[in-house]
Structure 1
């Protein structure tokens, strides 16, 4: 999963004064009506953002995810109980309290789970930098997104992202589109993806970034009901973890779509 640094914009409204009036202007009644006041305040023009809800997770959001305060540990109905217990993911796995920071693009909340902006999370999960020609169709935007941080038995980072959609059809459409992009990514680009196995509602792949010291990851995707789960675990030998990924799918299915 990629973490992207967020930035905030501040707008300032400046009000100027007119030049001194001539005697003639002073004696001429004003033709501009004085704005009415409500509650003792004078209405002033304001800049408003687009309030239309995003409909395509394949298109980047207009504004980056806010990082001005620690995010909540829950996201709507999603909470830590919707993420698999570390023991179900492998021997020695533990939850991890990510402190966050400027490079990570979020402030730590002293827990191992954090709410994500749904559009941003769904968009950032898609593969970027592929050598292959990935599909460009639209994807549904989830209602809620929750991310959990782990450490593997080898002390390497692991991340689980839950995306809760309005219904099962939208969840399946996103997972199908995600898998199609991963399968088409190919090798030789900034990101290379090798498929380990694929089923109707789940898949596993190896993700490698260009660079001699870049981490390798095992990626698992699964849909259950109206929820999609994407789990990525850094590994020194990801090509050997196909069987492990099957076990992870079962652990995810058991909890991700619970109320």
Structure 2
């Protein structure tokens, strides 16, 4: 999901743009990698409760401004634990890749939320949408899309490597599709030697799969729009070891 000063959002992506409340004016896949021996076969929800982690939230490299016109004030510091649901969004809205575990993070002021003991937390939908849409390389403003009505973020871990999932729910399927089309265009614009971040889009139709290369690490992202929901999952992937087939199985688990 989106890059933050302290935390690609995504990476939300991401995407590109993953975890915590975004910091306005500061982030939720290169060569095709080979298949891993450990296939990703996401489940609809984790079989066991989340593991609490004291490890720091993932850090993404900020993309140089300006790429986006921001019309939101800085988010207020969190004062209480974030809810574990958002509207009618629950943890079941986020698939969990096999080989990854859900992890409850403590959060904090820098992350933009306070943990609630579970692996999912509500996000302000305005900031969540802005957070991930600005991870791309084309100019965009908040006038280019409609804000979602709810946002739920989840956190994963695999042997110390972080991952973030983000579900954005919109008022209509039309609004969701328009936002997702803009998100894909933002990712596709990140090419060439002068791009602030390198994004290799490997699947454009029927969902999104891309490989992201930041100065401080590699990430693989999948995303799709289903009805009124846009789901973005970004996973730390040093060396881009997650194969295309694995990413497609994760993409197919988005409902």
Structure-2-length-normalised TM-score: 0.68
Q: Verify: 1:143 aligned to 2:145, yes or no.
A: no
Partner secondary structure for residue 141 of structure 1? coil
Structure 2 partner of 1:180: 185
Shift of 1:101: 2.3
- Contact 2:136–2:189 (8 Å) recurs in 1: no
Structure 2 partner of 1:158: 163
TM-align CA RMSD: 2.5
Aligned partners of 2:81 and 2:154: how far apart in 1?
14
- Contact 2:135–2:186 (8 Å) recurs in 1: no
Shift in CA distance, 173/93, structure 1 to aligned 2, threshold 3 Å:
same
Structure 1 partner of 2:217: 215
Shift of 1:59: 4.0
Partner secondary structure for residue 127 of structure 2? helix
- Contact 2:134–2:140 (8 Å) recurs in 1: no
Point out the structure with the larger helix share: 1
Shift in CA distance, 60/242, structure 1 to aligned 2, threshold 3 Å:
farther
Moved more, 220-229 or 59-68: 59-68
Aligned partners of 2:4 and 2:113: how far apart in 1?
9
Deviations 1:226-253 (A, max 9, x none): 1000100000132752211111111112
Shift of 1:93: 1.4
The alignment of Structure 1 onto Structure 2 pairs a total of residues equal to: 193
Shift of 1:105: 2.3
Structure 1 partner of 2:93: 82
Higher relative CO (Cα under 8 Å, sequence separation at least 6) belongs to 2
Structure 2 partner of 1:230: 232
Structure 2 partner of 1:167: 172
Shift of 1:208: 1.9
Shift in CA distance, 225/128, structure 1 to aligned 2, threshold 3 Å:
closer
2:203 to 197, 201, 212: 197
Structure-1-length-normalised TM-score: 0.67
Aligned partners of 2:106 and 2:184: how far apart in 1?
31
Aligned partners of 2:123 and 2:4: how far apart in 1?
11
Shift in CA distance, 114/203, structure 1 to aligned 2, threshold 3 Å:
same
Q: Based on CA coordinates, which of the two structures has the bigger radius of gyration?
A: 1
Aligned partners of 1:58 and 1:229: how far apart in 2?
23
Structure 1 partner of 2:245: 243
Shift in CA distance, 217/98, structure 1 to aligned 2, threshold 3 Å:
same
Shift of 1:221: 1.3
